[in-house]
Copies of this chain bind each other. A is one copy, B any other.
Amino acid sequence: MTSDTWEFSGRNLTSRLLLGSGGVSSAAVLSACIAESGTDVVTVSMRRAGASATSGLLPAIQAAGVEVLPNTAGCRTAREAVLTAQLAREALRTDWVKLEVIADDRTLLPDVLELVDAAEQLVDDGFRVLPYTTDDLVVARRLRDVGCAAVMPLGSPIGSGLGIRNPHAIELICGEIELPVVLDAGLGTASDAALAMELGCSAVLLATAVTRAERPELMAAAMRDAVRAGRAAHDAGRIPRSSLARASSPTTGMVGR
């Protein structure tokens, strides 16, 4: 009942939890988090690739046997992001990229105009593009229409731990966009990840919720279970909400009254 593979951007994955390496304190911690999380994919910022290599993050990821998903974290314009993606392709010999084009360092919010522009260029250049975006359904449609392989809306600002600020918006996206929808950014704890899956997301991507928890490995295990739980709950067909009680026990055939 729990085995579940899914196709994501040309890969067959067994886990619906994607991990970011940002914020991790050491390669050893990252290795442990990867193992506990059960993830198949770890995303790495290419703009600190040198630092990552030096610090041993890339070797740790590769040693874990999971796939590296390069990202364009820190890029502010379509031009920067396209260049960074191209460098990543050469360095890592991979065809996919998590596309981030942020507006500023304070909010790290996506700049959707630059994002759509960059996505279009990268798709034309043969990439499988996985864009980090807002929870705007109409922008998600654009990203789909230019040929992205998924849409990755935020729950709340990166690293904020505020969870999913607008579940209604995420539900609208999941209900219409036929691509994989990956909740990316803002999650803080296990119930946030479960909720993302219950809303219909295909997967969850998170970094700081794990890497900056007091006990990163234990939070990685929590997130693994939460994503599985949310996925199963989504498929199991939850009971409807009702404003009054509904007896769980039959009221007929009672003894003693």
Contacts and interface: CB of A to CB of B under 8 A. Distances in A.
B241 A214 contact: no
Interface residues of A, number: 106
Given A168-B156, A236-B213, A241-B188, A247 B161 contact: no
Interface string A27-54: 0000000001000000001111111000
Interface of A: 1-2, 20, 22-23, 36, 45-51, 73-74, 80, 83-84, 87, 103, 105-113, 116, 134, 136-139, 141-142, 156-162, 165-166, 168-169, 171-172, 188-195, 197-198, 207-209, 211-219, 221-226, 228-233, 235-251, 253-257
Contacts of A233: 189-191, 219, 222-223, 226
20 contacts: A48-B255, A50-B255, A80-B257, A106-B245, A108-B245, A156-B168, A159-B248, A160-B246, A188-B241, A190-B198, A190-B229, A194-B226, A208-B239, A209-B238, A211-B248, A214-B237, A219-B233, A222-B231, A222-B236, A224-B229
Given A214-B236, A222-B228, 15 more contacts: A2-B221, A45-B249, A73-B249, A103-B137, A103-B138, A106-B244, A112-B113, A159-B247, A165-B166, A168-B243, A188-B241, A191-B229, A194-B194, A194-B229, A222-B229
Nearest to A36: B1
